[in-house]
Structure 1
Amino acid sequence: MNKVLIFLSLLFASPALNAQSVSVEGGRFLKGDNPAWSTFTYDDSAWQEVSFTQPWEKMGLNRVNGIGWYRIHVVIPSSMKKGIVEAIMLDIGAIDDSDQTWINGHWVGNTGTFPEDPGGYSSEWGKRRYYIIDPKWVRWDQENVIAVRVYNYGDPGGLYRGAFNIVKPSLKDFANLSLVAEPGGYKAVLTSSVKTGGSLHVTVTDVMTGTQETSKTQKVNLAAWKEKQVSFSLRPQKRLKVTYSDPRFEEVLKAEVCSPYILTPPAPATPRYNGPLVFGVRPGSPVIFRLAFSGEKPMRYSVEGLPKGVVLDPERGVLSGTCTEEGDYPLVFTATNDKGSAKADFTLKVGQQIGLTPPMGWNSWNCWGLSVSQEKVMSSAKALIDRGLADYGYSYMNIDDAWEAEERAPDGRIEANEKFPDMKALGDWLHANGLKFGIYSCPGEYTCGGYLGSLNHERQDAEVWNSWGVDYLKYDLCGYIKIIEASRDKSEAVHIRPYLKMQEFIREQPRDIFYSLCQYGWGKSWEWGAYIDANSWRTSDDINDTWESLYNNGFVRQAKLYPYAGPGHWNDPDMLIVGKVGWSSSLRDTRLTPDEQYTHISLWSLLAANMLIGCDVSQIDDFTFNLLCNNEVNAVNQDILGHQAHQDIVEDGMQMWSRDLYDGSHAVGIFNLNEASVPVQLDGALAKINMKAETVRDLWRQKDIATDAVYVIPPHGVLYVKVK
C-alpha cells in the first residue's frame, strides 16, 4: 500500500457541496497537547495560521510524530437551519492519522484511536471524517470554534485534503440500506437514526439477457432507530436492485447484488494432486513444501526419489530438511485415503533460482490493514489448512504492515509489537504444517502505516527475519519516496539502489527469501527487477475491490509486460480482492460482482500473477472457495513454462488474452468489458488469433465444449478455455 501516493491524489480533490454550506480553507495550529484547547473561550491568537492543504511534514516541524491541535473559527449562518432534519454535518476531510473533534467545547466525535486509549493507537489516515452536529450546540450567525486534536505517527501528518466544510446532511448520513445474504436469496435491511417515510423499490433482472423480471414498490414508515427488513428469493445469475427514497431528500439510497453461482465441479473424494509440478530451492536452504492433495482425510503420503537430507512427514505430507547438491531431482508423490490413491510426478530443482512458479498464499493487508495481529494470522493459517485451500497449493502466510514495535532494541534490532508476542513460534508452526512465513518492510525510515522501516538497518533486519524463519519479504517503497524526491539523481538508479541493498543482505541469509518489490510500477521495475534478483515486482497502484481498479491493474497495466515474466521473476498486479475484505478491523463482502470475480481470477491465472488471497480465510464462503480452488484454472497460473499471456484482441469492448502452456496447448480468456451480455461464436473468436482447435475445454466448468457453438458472456464476465 502507498500512503504517500494516496495522499498526493487526494490533496487536490474538490468536494461537491450543496448550495447551503460553509467552506473553510485554513485555521490555527499548535503542536502539543492541552485539554483546554477544546474549549470555546481559549485564546489561540498566537497560534500558527495554516492551510488545510499543508500536512505537518511541509510545515517545518522538527518531528511530525505526536499530538497537535487545530482550531477553526467560523460563522455558521442561520439560513442553514431551513429544512434541517435533525442536525448539520461537519465534513473535515481526511486526517493523518487519528482525531478527536469538538465544537464550542462540545464533543463531536473521533476517528481512529490515540496511544492512551484502551487498545492503544490505531490509524484511520485515509478515512474522510463526517460528524453530525446537534443544532443546539451551534452559535447561529456568530463565531463558532471547532477544535480538532490530532495524533500522527509517520509522514505526512495532520489535515491535508483541503477545505473544511459544514454542510446540511443527506439521507445517507442518517439512514442505511443494505442487502444481507440468507438461504435462497437476500434480505434488504433499512435502518435510520431519524423518523423516515418513503418508498422501497425492488427490481430483479436477468444478468445474461438484461430482461427485467420483477418490479415492485412498497411504502415504508420507520421510527427513529428502528429497522425494516424485506426478504427476496433470488436464483443464480439474477441481479437484485433495491432503492429507498424519502421525499425530504433529493438523493436515493441504493443497494445492488448479483447472486453468486458456482461453476467449479466438486472435487472427488479420492486423492487428487492440485499443486505445482516444480519447486526451486538453493543448496543448503531449508526445504518447506506441502504436498497439495485434495480428497477425504485422513490421508497418508509417500515420496519416491528424495535426495539426501530431505525428509517427508507422512501424516502431514510436508517435505523438510536441506539438500546441498545442485541438480534436478525427479520425485513421485503418492497420497492414499480410504477411497483410493493418486500419484503425481514432480521435480525438486536445487539450484540458484527460486520462485519457479508464482507464489500462492495469503496476505493480511486487504482484509485487516493495520489491525493485523498474530491471532488473526493464525486464524487464517489454520483455516487455510482446515478449509482445504492448502490442498490447492496456497502456502504463503504473509504479514503486511503494522507488526513492528514502536522503537528498536538498544542494539538496533527490529522487534515485533504487542500484537505479535512470538514471531519465531509463529514461523515454526507454519513451517511444521508446510506453510511459509512472509513479512513486510520498507526501505525508508517509516512504513506506509507509520511503523519502523529498514533504513540503515537492512542487514540487521534481514538477520532478524532469518532467525524468525521468514520465507517471503514484501519491500514497500512508500517511506523511501521522499528520499527519491529529494535526490538530484533522476535516473532509474535512484529507484534501484534501496532494493539492491536489501537484496544483498537477504541473499546472505542461510534460507531462501522470496523477494517481492512493492513500488507501484515506479521506475519501470519490470525492466530491472530480474537483474537485482527480485522474484516479483508490483506493476501498478494498490488494488481495491472495484471494477475500475481491477480493470486498470489487470487489463491496462499488464498489456505490454509479458516479455518480463518467467520462472523466478513475475509481474505482480497486486493481491486478490475476493471474499471478505475491508483493509481494517471491519470486514465486508467484496464489491465485485460474481462475474467480475470470475474475470479477476481468470486474468490473474493468465498473467502468471502472484495469487495472494486478500480476504479473511476463516470466513470464506463456498462461492469464494470454489473460485480460488479450481485446480484447472490454478494449473494455468502455475504452468512451468511460465509465459505471461498476451493481449491479442481489443475490439468493441471485448478483449482476448492467450498464453502458451508447457503441454503445447493454449489458455485463452475472452473477456466482455461491456455493461451488457455479448454472444460469442467460439471458433470465429479463435480464428481471430489464428488458433484452430481440436478440443476446447471450459476451465471453470472443467468440461469439453463445442467449438462451433455460440456462448453468451455476461457483463464484465469471461469465457476461459484451454485450446488444443
Structure 2
Amino acid sequence: MDFKLKKKILALAAALSFAAGAFAQGNNYVQNYTKYEGLALTPPMGWNSWNKFACNVDEKMIREIADAMVSSGMKAAGYTYINIDDCWHGDRDSLGFIHPDPKRFPSGMKALTDYVHSKGLKFGIYSDAGSQTCGGRPGSRGYEFQDAMTYAQWGVDYLKYDWCNTEGLKAEGAYKTMTAALRKAGRPVVLSICEWGTDKPWEWGQTVGHLWRTTGDIYNCFDCVKDHGTWKSWGIMQILDQQEGLRQYAGPGRWNDPDMLEVGNGMSVNQDRAHFSMWAMLAAPLIAGNDLRNMSQQTIDILTNREVIAINQDELGIQGFKHSTKDSVQTWYKPLKNGDWAVCFLNRSKTPQKVELNWQTETITDDFAKRELNAKAQPYRIRNIWTKKDQGTTKKALNLVVPAQDVVMFRLSPNAK
C-alpha cells in the first residue's frame, strides 16, 4: 500500500475513533443521586395532614393550620414544616405537568406556599414513587423530573415520597431517580423516604434522603396492632420495638423515621407524654399529626416542652438506646452535647411501677457513641424534664414511681457540686 494512502487511512481511523468517543462521552449523562447536603442537621420538626385528616385536605384548612402553628407557640418551640400529605392532586395537563385539585386548592399551590412562607414556616408536599399514590391520585413514576421542576417553581421545601403502586420497582433506584430530579430542579428540598422499611432504607438511604421510614403506618393506640387484612397499622409501643438495631444509621442529616406523631389524637395524656418522650429519645422527626386549631392545653404543653425538644434536637444527633428492662419498665439513655445525658424510664404497663437506681454503683457504657456515664467518678445534676424542676444530684440513689403507661425523664449534667 502507498505510504501516503496508508497514512491518510490511519489518520481517518483515528479521527473517527475520536469522534465516536466524543459522541459517546457527550451522551454519557451522569445523574447526581446525592441528596442536598446541609439540610435536616437535626430531626425535622413540623406538621403533616395525614394522621388527622387523611384525604380531607384543602387550602383553607392548611392556611388555618399554619396560623395555629404560630399562635399556639409551636413555631417558637421549633416546628418549621407545614406538610400536605396525599390527595392534594388534581390531573396532569397535556404535557404531563401535575396540578392541584382546583376545587380544594382554587388559589393554586404557589399561592399557598407563599402564604406558609409568609408565616416564617416551610412548605412540604407529598408524592409517590408508583403510578398512583396510596389515595389513588397521580403518582410520580415516569414524571419525576417534571414533578421536581413543578415543586421547585411552587417553592416546596420538603417532599414525602411514598411507596404505593410501585410494581416492579426497586426502592433504592426509584428514590435515587427522585433525588436526581430534585437536584436537577435546583431547589434544596428535604427528601423523606417513605417505603416503610421493607427494603432496609437505612442501609442505602443516607446519601439519597434525609430521613427514612423504618416501619409501616402508626395509629393512635399506645400498645396494640390494627389488622387491615393485607397490611397492619402499629401502636406506639410496637413501633418503638421495631427500632431495635437501627441507631448506628442515624445522625445529622440522616434520620430513622418511626412515623409521625399521634399526640393529641385521642390517647390519654400520659400515653401522649410517653410517645413524645420516646420519639425525642430516638432522635426521630417530630412531625405533629393532630388538628393544631383545636388543641387542649395539655396537648400544647406536651408538643411545646422545650426541654424535651432540646433532647430531640441535640446537635450531636445520637439516637438513644434501651439499656435495660425490669418488669414492665424500660430504661433508656441518650448521649447529649457538653457531656450531658438524657435518661428516660418508660412504664409500659397499666399500673404504676417503682424504680430504684443507685447511680454510684452503675456505669453506663455506650460503645457506639464512645461515651460513659460514671456517676461515681463524675457527679451529675438531675433535671426532671416534665416537672421542669431540679432534682438533686447523682450522689443520692434514685427512688421513684413511674405512672401507668407514662415516663419519668431526666437530663443529667456534669460538674455537680
Range into which the TM-score falls when normalised by the shorter chain: 0.7 to 0.9
2:345 paired residue number: 670
Q: Which has the higher contact order (CA 8 A, sep 6+)?
A: 2
Q: CA deviation at 1:388?
A: 1.6
Within 5 A, what are the aligned runs for 1:586-625?
590=266, 592-625=267-300
Larger fraction in helix: 2
- In structure 1, the residue matched to 2:159 is 473
Is the 2:359–2:398 contact (alpha carbons within 8 Å) kept by the matching residues of 1? no
Per-residue Cα deviation, 1:250-290 (whole angstroms, up to 9, x for no partner)? xxxxxxxxxxxxxxxxxxxxxxxxxxxxxxxxxxxxxxxxx
Q: 2:61 aligns with which of 366, 376, 399?
A: 376
* Residue of structure 1 aligned with 2:45, choices 336, 339, 360: 360
TM-score, length basis structure 1 = 0.47
Structure 1 Cα separation of the partners of residues 361 and 407 of structure 2: 14
Are the aligned partners of 2:37 and 2:253 in contact in 1 as well (CA < 8 Å)?
Answer: no
C-alpha separation between the residues in 2 aligned to 1:437 and 1:470? 5
1:383–1:617 Cα contact (<8 Å) kept: yes
Q: 1:427 aligns with which of 99, 107, 113?
A: 113
- Alignment match, 2:198: 522
CA distance in 2, matches of 1:605, 1:464: 34
**Number of paired residues?**
351
Q: Distance in 2 between matches of 1:594 and 1:686?
A: 34
* TM superposition shift of 1:688: 6.4
> For 1:173-252, what aligned pairs fall within 5 Å after superposition?
none
Matched, 1:719 2:408: yes
2:212 alignment partner AA: W
Q: Percent identity?
A: 38
Pick from 652, 662, 666 the counterpart of residue 327 of structure 2.
652
The answer to whether the Cα contact below 8 Å between 1:538 and 1:573 also exists between their aligned partners in 2 is yes
Aligned to 2:32: none
Match of 2:94 among 387, 401, 410: 410
Provide the rounded CA distance (Å) in 2 between the counterparts of 1:461 and 1:634.
34
Paired residue type of 2:191: Y
Give the distance between the partners of 1:685 and 1:378, measured in 2 at CA: 53
Question: Cα RMSD between the aligned structures?
Answer: 1.6
Unpaired runs of at least 5, structure 2: 1-35, 224-234, 366-372
1:686 CA displacement: 8.3
Residue 431 of structure 1 and its aligned partner are, at CA, apart by 1.3
Deviation string, structure 1 residues 17-53 (Cα, Å, up to 9, x no partner): xxxxxxxxxxxxxxxxxxxxxxxxxxxxxxxxxxxxx
The structural deviation recorded for 1:559 is 2.0
1:434 deviates by 1.2
Give the structure 2 partner of residue 509 of structure 1: 185
Change in CA separation of 1:705 and 1:682 when aligned onto 2, cut-off 3 Å: farther
CA gap 1:435/1:515 in 2 versus in 1, 3 angstroms: same
CA distance in 2, matches of 1:613, 1:682: 33
Name the aligned partner's letter for residue 193 of structure 2: L
Deviations 1:626-684 (A, max 9, x none): 00111111001111100000111123222111111112110111111122111112435
AA in 2 matched with 1:459:
F
Partner residue of 1:679 out of 349, 354, 360? 354
Determine the C-alpha separation between the residues in 1 that align with 2:273 and 2:358. 22
Once residues 357 and 307 of structure 2 are traced to their aligned partners in structure 1, the CA distance between those partners, rounded to angstroms, is 20
* Corresponding letter in the other structure for 1:442: D
Structure number with higher strand proportion: 1
Distance 1:705 1:483 in 2: 56
Aligned to 1:572: 257
Give, as a single letter, the amino acid of the residue that structure 2 aligns with 1:576: L
Indicate how the Cα distance of structure 1 residues 657 and 709 shifts in structure 2: closer, same or farther if over 3 A, else same: closer
**Partner Cα distance (2:362, 2:115) in 1:** 52
Q: Aligned partners of 1:575, 1:688: CA distance in 2, in Å?
A: 34
Q: Tell me how far apart the structure 1 counterparts of residues 398 and 247 of structure 2 sit (CA, whole Å).
A: 31
- 2:319 counterpart SS class: coil
Q: Aligned partners of 2:363 and 2:349: how far apart in 1?
A: 19
